[in-house]
Protein backbone atom coordinates (compact mmCIF):
# COMPACT_ATOMS: atom_id res chain seq x y z
CA UNK A 1 0.00 0.00 0.00
CA UNK A 2 1.25 3.49 -0.87
CA UNK A 3 0.00 6.10 1.57
CA UNK A 4 0.55 9.86 1.80
CA UNK A 5 2.58 11.26 4.68
CA UNK A 6 0.60 11.89 7.86
CA UNK A 7 1.08 15.67 7.97
CA UNK A 8 0.15 16.15 11.62
CA UNK A 9 2.40 13.34 12.85
CA UNK A 10 5.30 14.59 10.66
CA UNK A 11 4.84 18.07 12.17
CA UNK A 12 4.76 16.69 15.71
CA UNK A 13 7.77 14.50 14.92
CA UNK A 14 9.71 17.73 14.38
CA UNK A 15 8.53 19.66 17.42
CA UNK A 16 6.69 17.64 20.07
CA UNK A 17 9.73 16.63 22.11
CA UNK A 18 11.77 19.82 21.61
CA UNK A 19 9.35 22.76 21.81
CA UNK A 20 9.05 23.78 25.48
CA UNK A 21 5.52 25.28 25.29
CA UNK A 22 3.05 22.83 23.82
CA UNK A 23 -0.12 24.82 23.29
CA UNK A 24 -1.80 22.53 20.79
CA UNK A 25 -1.80 19.07 22.35
CA UNK A 26 -4.98 17.05 21.99
CA UNK A 27 -4.48 14.77 24.98
CA UNK A 28 -5.27 15.55 28.59
CA UNK A 29 -2.54 15.79 31.24
CA UNK A 30 -1.06 12.36 31.85
CA UNK A 31 -0.03 10.63 35.08
CA UNK A 32 2.58 8.15 36.31
CA UNK A 33 2.08 4.38 36.71
CA UNK A 34 2.22 4.98 40.46
CA UNK A 35 -0.66 7.46 40.30
CA UNK A 36 -2.81 5.09 38.23
CA UNK A 37 -2.17 2.19 40.62
CA UNK A 38 -2.93 4.39 43.63
CA UNK A 39 -6.55 4.64 42.43
CA UNK A 40 -7.18 0.97 43.20
CA UNK A 41 -6.04 -0.52 46.55
CA UNK A 42 -4.07 -3.74 46.10
CA UNK A 43 -3.40 -3.14 42.39
CA UNK A 44 0.28 -2.31 42.83
CA UNK A 45 1.10 -5.78 44.16
CA UNK A 46 -0.90 -7.39 41.37
CA UNK A 47 0.80 -5.26 38.73
CA UNK A 48 4.24 -6.44 39.89
CA UNK A 49 3.28 -10.05 39.22
CA UNK A 50 1.81 -9.38 35.76
CA UNK A 51 2.98 -12.04 33.32
CA UNK A 52 4.91 -10.79 30.28
CA UNK A 53 3.84 -13.46 27.83
CA UNK A 54 1.53 -13.04 24.85
CA UNK A 55 -2.02 -11.96 25.64
CA UNK A 56 -5.36 -12.86 24.05
CA UNK A 57 -5.79 -11.40 20.55
CA UNK A 58 -9.16 -9.64 21.18
CA UNK A 59 -7.83 -8.29 24.49
CA UNK A 60 -7.90 -9.28 28.14
CA UNK A 61 -11.49 -10.48 28.82
CA UNK A 62 -11.67 -8.55 32.08
CA UNK A 63 -10.64 -5.33 30.34
CA UNK A 64 -13.08 -5.96 27.48
CA UNK A 65 -15.85 -6.41 30.03
CA UNK A 66 -14.98 -3.12 31.73
CA UNK A 67 -14.92 -1.35 28.34
CA UNK A 68 -18.27 -2.92 27.38
CA UNK A 69 -19.67 -1.44 30.60
CA UNK A 70 -19.03 2.08 29.28
CA UNK A 71 -21.75 1.42 26.67
CA UNK A 72 -25.43 0.65 27.17
CA UNK A 73 -25.77 -2.34 24.83
CA UNK A 74 -22.29 -3.88 24.48
CA UNK A 75 -21.09 -7.23 25.80
CA UNK A 76 -17.49 -8.40 26.20
CA UNK A 77 -17.60 -10.11 22.75
CA UNK A 78 -18.41 -6.78 21.07
CA UNK A 79 -15.10 -5.21 22.08
CA UNK A 80 -11.70 -5.73 20.45
CA UNK A 81 -8.73 -4.11 22.15
CA UNK A 82 -6.09 -2.58 19.84
CA UNK A 83 -2.87 -0.57 19.95
CA UNK A 84 -4.02 3.02 20.53
CA UNK A 85 -6.59 4.45 18.14
CA UNK A 86 -4.39 4.46 15.06
CA UNK A 87 -4.19 0.66 14.67
CA UNK A 88 -7.98 0.16 14.79
CA UNK A 89 -8.54 2.97 12.25
CA UNK A 90 -6.06 1.33 9.88
CA UNK A 91 -7.38 -2.18 10.43
CA UNK A 92 -11.07 -1.33 10.27
CA UNK A 93 -10.72 0.64 7.02
CA UNK A 94 -8.75 -2.23 5.49
CA UNK A 95 -11.31 -4.80 6.58
CA UNK A 96 -14.38 -2.82 5.48
CA UNK A 97 -13.29 -1.13 2.28
CA UNK A 98 -12.38 -2.13 -1.26
CA UNK A 99 -11.06 -0.10 -4.15
CA UNK A 100 -13.89 1.90 -5.73
CA UNK A 101 -16.09 2.06 -2.61
CA UNK A 102 -17.46 5.50 -1.86
CA UNK A 103 -16.63 6.88 1.59
CA UNK A 104 -17.92 10.11 3.14
CA UNK A 105 -15.81 11.64 5.90
CA UNK A 106 -16.40 14.62 8.10
CA UNK A 107 -13.85 17.35 7.37
CA UNK A 108 -11.55 18.70 8.79
CA UNK A 109 -10.65 15.52 10.61
CA UNK A 110 -7.68 13.45 11.86
CA UNK A 111 -5.94 12.47 8.63
CA UNK A 112 -5.95 8.68 8.89
CA UNK A 113 -9.76 8.78 9.03
CA UNK A 114 -9.79 9.49 5.28
CA UNK A 115 -6.22 8.79 4.16
CA UNK A 116 -6.34 5.02 4.66
CA UNK A 117 -9.51 4.84 2.53
CA UNK A 118 -7.81 6.99 -0.08
CA UNK A 119 -4.77 4.69 -0.12
CA UNK A 120 -7.06 1.67 -0.61
CA UNK A 121 -8.38 3.36 -3.76
CA UNK A 122 -11.77 4.47 -2.43
CA UNK A 123 -13.68 7.43 -3.79
CA UNK A 124 -13.55 9.76 -0.75
CA UNK A 125 -15.95 12.71 -0.37
CA UNK A 126 -15.43 15.29 2.37
CA UNK A 127 -18.43 16.52 4.32
CA UNK A 128 -17.26 19.91 5.59
CA UNK A 129 -17.89 21.64 8.85
CA UNK A 130 -19.02 25.20 8.28
CA UNK A 131 -18.26 28.22 10.44
CA UNK A 132 -21.44 30.21 11.16
CA UNK A 133 -22.37 33.08 13.48
CA UNK A 134 -23.26 30.46 16.09
CA UNK A 135 -20.05 28.48 15.70
CA UNK A 136 -19.29 25.25 13.84
CA UNK A 137 -22.17 23.58 12.04
CA UNK A 138 -22.71 20.32 10.14
CA UNK A 139 -25.48 20.22 7.56
CA UNK A 140 -27.05 16.75 7.63
CA UNK A 141 -29.15 17.52 4.53
CA UNK A 142 -25.83 18.01 2.76
CA UNK A 143 -24.70 14.59 4.00
CA UNK A 144 -27.87 13.05 2.60
CA UNK A 145 -27.25 14.65 -0.79
CA UNK A 146 -23.72 13.19 -0.88
CA UNK A 147 -24.85 9.56 -0.56
CA UNK A 148 -24.37 7.47 -3.73
CA UNK A 149 -25.24 3.87 -4.65
CA UNK A 150 -21.61 2.98 -3.97
CA UNK A 151 -21.42 4.61 -0.52
CA UNK A 152 -20.11 1.99 1.87
CA UNK A 153 -19.04 4.01 4.87
CA UNK A 154 -19.62 7.31 6.67
CA UNK A 155 -16.76 8.40 8.93
CA UNK A 156 -17.48 10.71 11.85
CA UNK A 157 -15.28 12.12 14.58
CA UNK A 158 -17.33 13.35 17.51
CA UNK A 159 -16.08 15.29 19.46
CA UNK A 160 -14.18 16.46 16.40
CA UNK A 161 -10.46 16.98 16.07
CA UNK A 162 -9.73 19.88 15.48
CA UNK A 163 -12.92 21.92 16.09
CA UNK A 164 -14.44 20.34 19.21
CA UNK A 165 -17.75 20.11 17.33
CA UNK A 166 -19.88 17.33 18.82
CA UNK A 167 -23.06 15.86 17.35
CA UNK A 168 -26.16 16.01 19.52
CA UNK A 169 -28.03 12.75 20.23
CA UNK A 170 -30.72 13.95 17.79
CA UNK A 171 -28.18 14.53 15.02
CA UNK A 172 -26.58 11.14 15.61
CA UNK A 173 -30.01 9.51 15.39
CA UNK A 174 -30.70 11.24 12.11
CA UNK A 175 -27.34 10.13 10.65
CA UNK A 176 -28.06 6.56 11.76
CA UNK A 177 -31.52 6.66 10.11
CA UNK A 178 -29.92 7.79 6.85
CA UNK A 179 -27.21 5.13 7.07
CA UNK A 180 -29.75 2.40 7.85
CA UNK A 181 -31.94 3.43 4.93
CA UNK A 182 -28.98 3.11 2.53
CA UNK A 183 -27.32 0.17 4.31
CA UNK A 184 -24.10 2.09 5.03
CA UNK A 185 -21.62 1.43 7.84
CA UNK A 186 -20.88 4.33 10.21
CA UNK A 187 -17.46 4.54 11.86
CA UNK A 188 -17.41 7.06 14.70
CA UNK A 189 -14.09 8.08 16.20
CA UNK A 190 -15.10 8.94 19.77
CA UNK A 191 -11.64 9.26 21.30
CA UNK A 192 -12.50 12.63 22.89
CA UNK A 193 -15.75 11.41 24.39
CA UNK A 194 -16.09 11.80 28.16
CA UNK A 195 -14.88 15.36 28.60
CA UNK A 196 -18.11 17.16 27.63
CA UNK A 197 -17.93 20.88 28.32
CA UNK A 198 -21.63 21.56 27.81
CA UNK A 199 -22.43 18.92 30.44
CA UNK A 200 -24.42 16.79 27.96
CA UNK A 201 -23.52 13.11 27.55
CA UNK A 202 -24.14 11.76 24.04
CA UNK A 203 -24.73 8.10 23.18
CA UNK A 204 -21.95 6.01 21.66
CA UNK A 205 -22.60 5.37 17.98
CA UNK A 206 -22.22 1.60 18.36
CA UNK A 207 -25.12 1.60 20.84
CA UNK A 208 -27.38 3.26 18.28
CA UNK A 209 -26.75 1.26 15.14
CA UNK A 210 -26.18 -2.40 14.26
CA UNK A 211 -23.70 -1.34 11.55
CA UNK A 212 -22.12 1.31 13.76
CA UNK A 213 -18.53 1.12 14.95
CA UNK A 214 -17.28 3.15 17.91
CA UNK A 215 -13.60 3.90 18.39
CA UNK A 216 -12.38 4.58 21.93
CA UNK A 217 -8.92 5.02 23.43
CA UNK A 218 -7.08 5.69 26.68
CA UNK A 219 -4.95 8.44 25.06
CA UNK A 220 -7.15 11.51 24.94
CA UNK A 221 -9.98 12.05 27.43
CA UNK A 222 -8.17 9.75 29.91
CA UNK A 223 -4.71 11.23 29.28
CA UNK A 224 -2.98 7.84 29.19
CA UNK A 225 -1.54 7.80 25.66
CA UNK A 226 1.58 5.88 26.70
CA UNK A 227 -0.52 2.79 27.41
CA UNK A 228 -1.28 2.49 23.67
CA UNK A 229 -4.62 0.90 24.47
CA UNK A 230 -7.65 1.59 22.29
CA UNK A 231 -10.65 -0.44 21.18
CA UNK A 232 -13.40 -0.93 18.65
CA UNK A 233 -16.98 -1.65 19.71
CA UNK A 234 -19.55 -3.01 17.30
CA UNK A 235 -22.50 -5.40 17.16
CA UNK A 236 -21.56 -6.53 13.66
CA UNK A 237 -20.34 -10.12 14.24
CA UNK A 238 -18.94 -10.59 10.76
CA UNK A 239 -16.87 -7.44 11.14
CA UNK A 240 -15.64 -8.52 14.59
CA UNK A 241 -14.34 -11.78 13.13
CA UNK A 242 -12.56 -9.99 10.31
CA UNK A 243 -11.01 -7.46 12.68
CA UNK A 244 -9.47 -10.27 14.74
CA UNK A 245 -7.92 -11.78 11.60
CA UNK A 246 -6.59 -8.38 10.57
CA UNK A 247 -5.03 -7.85 14.00
CA UNK A 248 -3.01 -11.04 13.39
CA UNK A 249 -1.12 -8.97 10.81
CA UNK A 250 -0.58 -5.84 12.90
CA UNK A 251 0.05 -6.02 16.66
CA UNK A 252 -1.32 -9.61 17.20
CA UNK A 253 -2.12 -8.76 20.81
CA UNK A 254 -1.83 -5.90 23.23
CA UNK A 255 0.73 -5.32 25.99
CA UNK A 256 -0.31 -7.14 29.19
CA UNK A 257 0.93 -4.44 31.60
CA UNK A 258 -0.89 -1.79 29.56
CA UNK A 259 -4.10 -3.79 29.57
CA UNK A 260 -3.82 -4.13 33.34
CA UNK A 261 -3.29 -0.39 33.85
CA UNK A 262 -6.09 0.50 31.43
CA UNK A 263 -8.40 -1.76 33.44
CA UNK A 264 -7.50 -0.01 36.68
CA UNK A 265 -7.98 3.43 35.11
CA UNK A 266 -11.34 2.51 33.55
CA UNK A 267 -12.64 1.16 36.85
CA UNK A 268 -12.23 4.78 37.96
CA UNK A 269 -13.35 6.27 34.67
CA UNK A 270 -15.70 8.87 36.20
CA UNK A 271 -13.04 10.15 38.58
CA UNK A 272 -10.42 10.41 35.84
CA UNK A 273 -12.78 12.14 33.42
CA UNK A 274 -13.89 14.58 36.14
CA UNK A 275 -10.22 15.43 36.85
CA UNK A 276 -9.52 16.07 33.17
CA UNK A 277 -12.74 18.02 32.55
CA UNK A 278 -11.77 20.28 35.45
CA UNK A 279 -8.29 20.90 33.96
CA UNK A 280 -9.88 21.81 30.60
CA UNK A 281 -12.53 24.05 32.20
CA UNK A 282 -9.96 25.89 34.32
CA UNK A 283 -7.75 26.41 31.26
CA UNK A 284 -10.71 27.63 29.22
CA UNK A 285 -11.32 30.39 31.77
CA UNK A 286 -7.73 31.55 31.24
CA UNK A 287 -7.97 31.14 27.46
CA UNK A 288 -11.26 33.00 27.18
CA UNK A 289 -9.90 35.96 29.15
CA UNK A 290 -6.97 35.99 26.70
CA UNK A 291 -9.23 35.91 23.61
CA UNK A 292 -11.43 38.63 25.15
CA UNK A 293 -8.34 40.86 25.33
CA UNK A 294 -7.67 40.51 21.60
CA UNK A 295 -11.01 40.34 19.74
CA UNK A 296 -9.52 41.95 16.63
CA UNK A 297 -6.89 39.25 16.24
CA UNK A 298 -8.83 36.08 17.09
CA UNK A 299 -12.20 34.58 16.35
CA UNK A 300 -12.64 32.01 19.14
CA UNK A 301 -15.40 29.41 19.38
CA UNK A 302 -15.71 27.43 22.61
CA UNK A 303 -15.45 23.65 21.97
CA UNK A 304 -18.59 21.67 22.88
CA UNK A 305 -16.47 18.79 24.18
CA UNK A 306 -12.88 17.62 24.20
CA UNK A 307 -9.60 19.38 24.95
CA UNK A 308 -9.12 21.25 21.63
CA UNK A 309 -10.54 24.14 19.62
CA UNK A 310 -9.86 25.55 16.16
CA UNK A 311 -9.35 29.30 16.36
CA UNK A 312 -9.29 31.79 13.52
CA UNK A 313 -6.40 34.26 13.55
CA UNK A 314 -6.77 37.43 11.50
CA UNK A 315 -3.18 37.91 10.46
CA UNK A 316 -1.48 39.11 7.29
CA UNK A 317 0.68 36.08 6.64
CA UNK A 318 -0.09 32.42 5.96
CA UNK A 319 -0.95 30.75 9.27
CA UNK A 320 1.56 27.95 8.57
CA UNK A 321 4.38 30.53 8.34
CA UNK A 322 3.22 32.18 11.55
CA UNK A 323 3.20 28.85 13.43
CA UNK A 324 6.69 28.01 12.07
CA UNK A 325 8.07 31.34 13.30
CA UNK A 326 6.28 31.03 16.63
CA UNK A 327 7.87 27.68 17.43
CA UNK A 328 11.32 28.71 16.12
CA UNK A 329 11.43 32.09 17.87
CA UNK A 330 9.43 31.48 21.06
CA UNK A 331 9.26 27.68 21.45
CA UNK A 332 5.44 27.80 21.45
CA UNK A 333 3.74 25.07 19.43
CA UNK A 334 0.42 25.66 17.64
CA UNK A 335 -0.90 23.53 14.80
CA UNK A 336 -1.93 25.44 11.65
CA UNK A 337 -5.05 24.56 9.64
CA UNK A 338 -2.88 23.82 6.58
CA UNK A 339 -1.84 20.57 8.33
CA UNK A 340 -5.49 19.49 8.01
CA UNK A 341 -5.70 20.67 4.39
CA UNK A 342 -8.38 23.08 5.62
CA UNK A 343 -8.64 26.47 4.00
CA UNK A 344 -8.62 29.58 6.15
CA UNK A 345 -6.39 30.97 8.86
CA UNK A 346 -6.99 28.68 11.86
CA UNK A 347 -4.79 27.09 14.48
CA UNK A 348 -5.57 24.29 16.91
CA UNK A 349 -5.20 25.08 20.60
CA UNK A 350 -5.19 22.39 23.32
CA UNK A 351 -6.56 22.99 26.84
CA UNK A 352 -5.88 19.65 28.47
CA UNK A 353 -2.39 20.20 29.86
CA UNK A 354 -1.66 21.50 33.36
CA UNK A 355 1.04 23.96 32.18
CA UNK A 356 -1.40 25.67 29.79
CA UNK A 357 -1.25 29.04 31.55
CA UNK A 358 2.54 29.24 31.28
CA UNK A 359 2.52 28.27 27.59
CA UNK A 360 -0.21 30.81 26.86
CA UNK A 361 1.82 33.52 28.62
CA UNK A 362 4.74 32.83 26.27
CA UNK A 363 2.38 33.04 23.30
CA UNK A 364 1.02 36.39 24.53
CA UNK A 365 4.51 37.78 25.14
CA UNK A 366 5.46 36.81 21.58
CA UNK A 367 2.40 38.65 20.18
CA UNK A 368 3.30 41.73 22.24
CA UNK A 369 6.98 41.57 21.13
CA UNK A 370 5.98 41.34 17.48
CA UNK A 371 3.45 44.19 17.93
CA UNK A 372 0.65 41.98 16.75
CA UNK A 373 -1.53 43.12 19.66
C1 LIG B 1 -9.45 11.91 16.35
C2 LIG B 1 -8.26 11.06 16.62
N3 LIG B 1 -8.33 9.74 16.37
C4 LIG B 1 -7.28 8.93 16.58
C5 LIG B 1 -6.08 9.41 17.08
C6 LIG B 1 -4.94 8.47 17.33
O7 LIG B 1 -4.87 8.20 18.69
P8 LIG B 1 -3.69 7.32 19.33
O9 LIG B 1 -2.52 8.23 19.41
O10 LIG B 1 -4.16 6.91 20.64
O11 LIG B 1 -3.43 6.16 18.42
C12 LIG B 1 -5.96 10.77 17.35
C13 LIG B 1 -4.70 11.32 17.87
O14 LIG B 1 -4.47 12.50 17.89
C15 LIG B 1 -7.08 11.61 17.12
O16 LIG B 1 -7.03 12.92 17.37
pLDDT tens figures, 108-123: 999 999 999 999 999 9
pLDDT tens figures, 24-76: 999 999 999 999 999 999 999 999 999 999 999 999 999 999 999 999 999 99
- Which residue's CA lies nearest to atom 14 of ligand 1? 26
Q: Write down the pTM of the prediction.
A: 0.97
Give me the mean pLDDT over the 76-96 stretch.
98
| Listed residue (305, 22, 322, 340) closest to 158, CA to CA | 305
Q: Which of 105, 166, 220 to mutate to test the pocket of ligand 1 (most atoms within 8 A of CB)?
A: 220
CATH number of the domain at 43-268, please? 3.40.640.10
- Which residue's CA lies nearest to atom 4 of ligand 1? 85
Q: Does domain 7-32+270-367 have CATH number 3.90.1150.10?
A: yes
| pLDDT tops 90 at residue 282 | yes
Q: Which atom of ligand 1 is nearest to the CA of 157?
A: 1
Alpha-carbon Rg of the chain, whole angstroms?
20
278 vs 299: CA distance, rounded Å? 24
Q: Which atom of ligand 1 is nearest to the CA of 83?
A: 11
Identify whether the C-beta of residue 363 lies closer than 8 Å to the C-beta of residue 326.
yes
The dihedral through the CA atoms of 287, 288, 291, 292 has a sign that is: negative
194 vs 212: CA distance, rounded Å? 19
Residues of the chain with CATH 3.40.640.10: 43-268
284 vs 278: CA distance, rounded Å? 10
| pLDDT tops 90 at residue 1 | no
Residues of the chain with CATH 3.90.1150.10: 7-32+270-367
Going from the Cα of 175 to the center of ligand 1, the distance in angstroms, rounded, reads: 23
Ligand 1, CB cutoff 6 Å, lining residues: 26, 84-86, 110, 157, 161, 189, 191, 217, 219, 225, 230
pLDDT at 355: 95
Amino acid sequence: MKINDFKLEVFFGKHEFTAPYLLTQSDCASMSIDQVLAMEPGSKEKFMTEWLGYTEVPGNPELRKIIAGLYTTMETENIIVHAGAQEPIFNCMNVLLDKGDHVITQFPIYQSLFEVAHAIGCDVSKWSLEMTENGWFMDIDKLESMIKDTTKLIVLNSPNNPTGYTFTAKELKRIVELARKHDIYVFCDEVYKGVELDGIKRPWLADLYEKGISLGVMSKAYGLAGLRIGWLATKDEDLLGKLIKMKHYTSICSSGPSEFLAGVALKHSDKLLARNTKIIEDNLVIAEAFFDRYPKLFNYTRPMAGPIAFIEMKIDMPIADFCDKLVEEAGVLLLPSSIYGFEGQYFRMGFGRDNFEESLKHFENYLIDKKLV
